[in-house]
Each structure stands twice: as structure tokens, then as C-alpha cells.
Amino acid sequence: MNLREGTRRLALLIGVAGAILGGLFSYSQLQSTMRQRANHQKFEQLANSSVAEQGRKGCFVRDIPSERGPEYDAQGNPIPAQTNQTPLPWEKYANHKGNPWDRPPAPTKQTPCFVPDDDPNAFYYTPSKLNSGEIKTLHFDENHEISTIETQNGQTLYPTPAPSAWLYLLIALFPLLGFFIPWGIIRAIGWVGAGFVASSK
């Protein structure tokens, strides 16, 4: 009986099996990483599109911009109380009699930006179909950042971080780790066992 040769063959066999399992796990992780990368790129593309910029202006920017705030025009002059400017969504309902948080109805062609009933801190923007650019609805949070994008094909996109470059390296190492970890363990056990056999002789 050759304990050393048997241990070597067993280590190779288990190492190959571990490499196969590591390759399968690496493939599944690669698919997940590629989906994450595609979702990140798609969200960033739509969030930085001209349609998203129109949504920000329609929901949060007055017709006359000013660095001093919404009460002043571009030259710094106070805006009269009576003005023909279209009120922003929260201004239109702030002075509503009764519940001050009465929300506007669902969006129409005249009011593409509205506040949902279930989330008073959010703002939804629905562009026209002629100028949607794949976007069905933009969801803005209380910080005026896009939190969710609903596309015309029914997909919902969320802010997704780009995969780290180290993740790709780790995915490439999974088959190697799957081979060397069990191979090293079996060889170590065989080495220890060979020492006991040799000492008994």
C-alpha cells in the first residue's frame, strides 16, 4: 500500500472536482455582475438624459431662475405676489383649505409632475409619449434625486452601483481556489498520516 501515491491521486481528484464547482460558481457570479453593470449603465443613461432634466425643471425649477431663491427673479428683484407663473406641485396645494397635504390628482398632459398619495415627500414625473425616451415615469425623492425609473417596456430601474474591478478578479480566481484549497487540505492530511505510518514501522 502506497499512502503517498494514494493521497496524491485523491488530492488531484478532489481538486479537479473543486475547480469544476468553483467554475460553476464563478459563472453564476459573472452573470449577476454583468446584470448589475447593465442596470447601472441603463439607469445612469436615463437619469442623465434630456427627459430627466426636463423632469427636474418641471418639478423643482421655476420659470425664472434665481440664485437668491424662488421669491426673486434672475436680476434679484422680488417677484410680485400676483404672477402668471405656473405654480410648482407643492405650491399649488400648500394653501388648500382643509388638509394642507391634499395631493394633486394623477398626472395629465397639463400637469406631468405630481405628488403621490402614499408618499408626500416624493414627486413623480410622467413625460409625453412623443418625448419619453423609453421613460414612462421618473420618481424623485425628497432630495430631488431620481430614486426609481419606470420604462415603457415595464422595467423598473433603481440606482445601482457599478461593480468593482476587484470583483472581476475574484470571479477569475474562484476555479483556482476551488482546486488548490481541497488539494492542499488532502495533501496536508496525507502528509500527517504518512508521518504516523512511518513512525509505527
pLDDT of residue 8: 85
pLDDT under 70: residue ranges of the chain: 1, 61-111, 130-131, 197-201
CA atoms of 94 and 101, how far apart (whole Å): 7
CB count within 10 Å of CB 145 equals 11
pLDDT of residue 17: 94
CA atoms of 75 and 64, how far apart (whole Å): 10
Cβ-based burial of 169 (10 A; exposed 0-12, middle 13-18, buried ≥19): exposed
pLDDT of residue 44: 93
Amino acid sitting at position 18: G
3-state helix, strand, coil in the chain (%, to 5): 50, 10, 40
The pTM of the full predicted model, rounded to 2 decimals, is: 0.62
pLDDT of residue 12: 92
